[in-house]
Structures are given as C-alpha cells and as structure tokens.
Amino acid sequence: MAVTKTGVTYNPTQKLGHLVSSADYSAAQTNVFMVLSADHTLTTAGAGVIASGVRVNKPNTGEAVELIKSGTAPLKLGGVVTYGDLIKSDGSGYGVKSAGAGDHYLAQALQSGVSGDEIEVDLDKNGDNHA
C-alpha cells in the first residue's frame, strides 16, 4: 500500500504480514521507528535501540504492520534536526539527532525540522556514529 505524505508517495518495501503489532496503534502517531521484539511482534522503538524500520500504518493489536525498511520514509521528529543530520530513535520512536561518537543512528535527514514535524529521511544511512 502506497502512503502519501506532504505530496510524496512512499511504498513500504514489505508489508510484514507475518509480523504483527504488539499493541493497539489505531489511534497512535504514524511514521515512528519500530523494533522487532523477542515474541516476533513489532513495538515502538525505544531510545538508542536499532530499529527495524518506520511504521506507516495504524494497526490494532495482532494486525500486520506496514514498515518501510529501506529507501526514504516520512519520520516524526522528537527534536530539532537539520538537513544531513544522522538520526536515532528517542524513547517514543521519534527521530532525534544522533549525539556523536558511539551513538547508533538509523537514518539521515533529507529535510530540516523541529519536534512534531514529519520530515523525509534516508533509511539506507544507518550504523555507528564515529564523528
């Protein structure tokens, strides 16, 4: 299912029909980092964890999660981010600027924004920040 945000259409690389939501996200914010749990469900990523991708739908508990795992994706911000910044997850799954050396980042900002904004990010830019 294609998702259109701010005039840009994103195509989830995989609809994870075999992986389901661990909670009811039907009223939750979309476009947040998600992580695979030990019970093979997807849950909102916490601070500093290595996320599996960005959730773009609002599933109920046990429903399939649509996740963008690579390429570009819309991401809700939890802080100020500048174009080109490396981004990690905060405690709510929102994108925040990676703090520096030793920090694991999940994406790179393709736009600038502030807390509450949704910006486009490149999910193919992830790893450990050695800056």
Residue 80 shares a structural domain with residue 61:
no
pLDDT of residue 16: 47
* Domains held by the chain: number: 2
Q: What is the pLDDT of residues 99-127, one digit of tens each?
A: 877 788 889 999 999 999 999 999 877 67
Choose among 34, 40, 6, 19: nearest CA to 106.
34
Residue 82 shares a structural domain with residue 35:
no
Task: Report if pTM > 0.75.
Answer: yes
Residue 61 shares a structural domain with residue 97:
no
Residue 47 shares a structural domain with residue 100:
no
Residue 89 shares a structural domain with residue 113:
yes
Distance of CA 75 to the CA centre of its chain: 6
Question: What range does the domain containing 79 cover?
Answer: 73-128
Place 8 in a pLDDT band, splitting at 50, 70 and 90. low
Q: For strands 32-36 and 8-10, give the pairing.
A: unpaired
Q: What is the pLDDT of residues 16-75, one digit of tens each?
A: 456 788 899 988 888 898 888 888 888 999 998 888 889 888 999 988 888 888 888 899
Residue 63 shares a structural domain with residue 8:
yes
Q: For strands 14-21 and 107-109, give the pairing.
A: unpaired
HSE of 82, CA atoms in CB hemisphere, 13 A = 0
